[in-house]
């Protein structure tokens, strides 16, 4: 639980965001998520129209899955470290990151895939009906998309926010073509903090 001082700082930060952004194009369910991404990144570009894109069933599916104690599969430990531990414990969500699994190293040596791809592939059963949250590796997002197309897994929600200059924007464009609930953004921006902020905002909405 946050201290009184910590909560007052957060509340003041949210007021700054509200004041500086003013009007925006997001609806009343989308805006708390976008606002928390801005809070975690101090990047007001996320408030631009259609910067963060929501599948029509994304929020409802995400809330339902988290409340049911679904798995949360992440691409890097940085995302896992930023998730609200009180909430994952409260709802019984298992946070899974296999990027450092020794078996991944062996599998990568025998295949033509990156560690991020292989970690997603080996987490397919955990992803099914859960949340997959990607804040770093475009290859991880591409792999999840491919597994969905192959009917290997069917997540309740994909949070796709990989950051970078190589394939980050392209992977998010590909995600928007898949008929499965997603929250993503346009362009190169993203990262662990923005991906985790989306999940934390969903938890906040449950509360």
Q: What's the rounded mean pLDDT across residues 191-202? A: 98
Structural domains counted in the chain: 1
The CATH number linked to 92 is 3.40.50.10230
The two tokens of residue 66 are 């988290």
Using the predicted structure, report yes or no on whether residue 9 has a pLDDT greater than 60: yes
Q: Distance of alpha carbon 85 from its chain centroid, rounded?
A: 15
Query: Would residue 38 count as lying in a domain?
Result: no
Burial group, residue 122, by CB count within 10 angstroms (0-12, 13-18, 19+): middle
In angstroms, the CA 77 to CA 136 distance is: 10
Query: Would residue 17 count as lying in a domain?
Result: no
In angstroms, the CA 205 to CA 207 distance is: 5
Q: Which of 2-11, 41-50, 67-76, 184-193 has the lowest mean pLDDT?
A: 2-11
Query: Would residue 23 count as lying in a domain?
Result: no
Q: What is the DSSP letter of 51?
A: S
Strand 72-74 and strand 95-96: the pairing is: parallel
Strand 72-74 and strand 131-134: the pairing is: parallel
Query: Would residue 3 count as lying in a domain?
Result: no
Using the predicted structure, report yes or no on whether residue 6 has a pLDDT greater than 70: no
Q: What's the rounded mean pLDDT across residues 32-46? A: 95
Residue among 143, 138, 135 at smallest CA distance from 119: 143
Using the predicted structure, report yes or no on whether residue 149 has a pLDDT greater than 80: yes
**pTM over the 0.85 mark:** yes
Q: Which residue has the tokens 């965001």?
A: 17
Burial group, residue 50, by CB count within 10 angstroms (0-12, 13-18, 19+): exposed
The two tokens of residue 61 are 């599916």
In angstroms, the CA 13 to CA 2 distance is: 15
Using the predicted structure, report yes or no on whether residue 1 has a pLDDT greater than 90: no
- Residue 179 φ then ψ, to 5°: -85, 70
Query: 3-class SS at 81?
Result: helix
133, 74 Cβ separation under 8 angstroms? yes
Query: Would residue 42 count as lying in a domain?
Result: no
Catalytic residue set: 39
Q: Which domain, by its residues, includes 139?
A: 50-206
Query: Would residue 96 count as lying in a domain?
Result: yes
Task: Determine the pLDDT at residue 4.
Answer: 60
Query: Would residue 129 count as lying in a domain?
Result: yes
Chain mean pLDDT for the chain: 94
Query: Would residue 11 count as lying in a domain?
Result: no
């Amino acid at each position: 639980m946050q201290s009184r001082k910590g909560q007052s700082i957060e509340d003041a930060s949210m007021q700054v965001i509200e004041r500086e952004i003013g009007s925006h194009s997001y609806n009343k369910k989308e805006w708390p998520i976008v606002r928390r991404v801005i809070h975690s990144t101090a990047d007001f570009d996320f408030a631009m129209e259609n910067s963060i894109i929501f599948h029509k069933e994304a929020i409802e599916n995400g809330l339902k899955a988290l409340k049911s104690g679904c798995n949360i599969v992440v691409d890097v430990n940085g995302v896992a470290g930023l998730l609200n531990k009180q909430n994952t414990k409260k709802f019984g969500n298992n946070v899974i990151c296999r990027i450092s699994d020794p078996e991944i190293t062996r599998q990568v040596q025998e295949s033509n895939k990156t560690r991020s791809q292989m970690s997603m592939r080996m987490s397919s059963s955990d992803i099914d009906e859960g949340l997959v949250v990607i804040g770093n590796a475009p290859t991880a997002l591409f792999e999840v998309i491919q597994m969905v197309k192959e009917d290997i897994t069917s997540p309740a929600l994909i949070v796709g926010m990989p950051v970078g200059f190589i394939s980050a924007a392209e992977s998010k464009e590909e995600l928007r073509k898949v008929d499965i609930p997603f929250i993503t953004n346009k362009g190169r921006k993203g990262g662990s903090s923005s991906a985790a902020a989306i999940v934390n905002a969903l938890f906040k909405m449950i509360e």
